Every structure is written in structure tokens, then in C-alpha cells.
Structure 1
Amino acid sequence: MLMVVDIKLREILEKRGHSGKPYRQLAQEIGISHVPLWKMLNGEPYNPSLEMLDKICTFLRCQPGDILRRRR
């Protein structure tokens, strides 16, 4: 069985006051490539590495469970 997980990155960016920044600037500040960030922000299928999730969570001061939601 395939588990589908939604990435709710846009929501947490808004809560943390980063929603107005261009995604390329955000990617640079987070320390990741802009392509996967764009995919995650726009609901494109993407499987981020644990290292990438760690960088995002460190930048946003959150836990992976704050941005990942299992679709039921």
C-alpha cells in the first residue's frame, strides 16, 4: 500500500511570516535548491530527503509533523 503525504509548507511559512518572500530567496536562506522548494510550495509530487526536512524545520523552528500530513 502506498502512503500519500501532503507537504503543508506554505501554511507554516505564512504562520512564520515568510510568505511574501520569493521562493528562490527562501531556498537560499534555508540552504536548499529552489526547484524542490517550488515543487513543495505548489503541490507537485516531491519526496524530500530527511536532510532537506531537517534544514526546513531548522529554518522554520518546527517539527516535521508540522509540515507533513498523511492523507487518509
Structure 2
Amino acid sequence: MAIIIELDVMLAKRKMKSTELAEKVGITPQNLSVLRSGRARAIRFSTLDAICQHLQCQPGDILRYQSNISISDNN
């Protein structure tokens, strides 16, 4: 997948446990675990908004795009 989830990094920076964040955001720890592991196929904007509010960060701090296309110079 081209979207990399870096939620663990932000949790560590904020010294917050994932169970604490899940409780504050209002989602189950299992759903947060699916998101953290990168297995989630979607995230609601309201959930992303709540995560960013509680971690005091921007969406780009926890979501990163990585291209799957490798460009090689064959000249």
C-alpha cells in the first residue's frame, strides 16, 4: 500500500498508550490496532480529526505517501 501509517511514532512522541488514545477518540482498541498496523482500508475524517486533536498533530504527521513506482534510468 502506498499510504504508510506512522501513528506509533506520534504515540511515542506524545508518550501516550494506544489504549488511552482509543478511549479518548471513541474507537475500540482493536480498530486502532488495525489502523496502527496499516491493515485499515479506510479511516473516517471524524476519526482522523479526533486522533489529530488528541495527539496535537496534523494528518501528515501520521499518514505518509510512499510511491510504489520505482524509477530507473536505463539510458
TM-score w.r.t. the length of structure 1 is 0.77
Q: Is 1:60 aligned with 2:58?
A: no
Q: Any unmatched runs of 5+ in structure 1?
A: none
Shift of 1:31: 1.9
CA-CA distance at 1:5 after TM superposition:
1.1
- The aligned runs of 1:10-49 (5 Å cut-off) are 10-18=8-16, 21=17, 23-49=18-44
Aligned positions, number: 67
- TM-superposed deviation, 1:7: 1.3
Identity of aligned residues (%): 39
User: Unmatched 5+ residue regions in structure 2?
Assistant: 68-75
Query: Does residue 9 of structure 1 match 2:3?
Result: no
Q: Aligned pair in 2 of structure 1 residues 5, 62: CA closer, same or farther (>3 Å)?
A: same
Q: Distance in 1 between matches of 2:63 and 2:8?
A: 11
Assess if the C-alpha contact under 8 Å between 2:5 and 2:35 holds in 1: yes
Look at both structures and tell me which one has the larger radius of gyration over its CA atoms.
2
Cα deviations by residue, 1:16-54 (Å, 9 ceiling, x for unpaired)? 111xx3x44431122223232011222323311111100
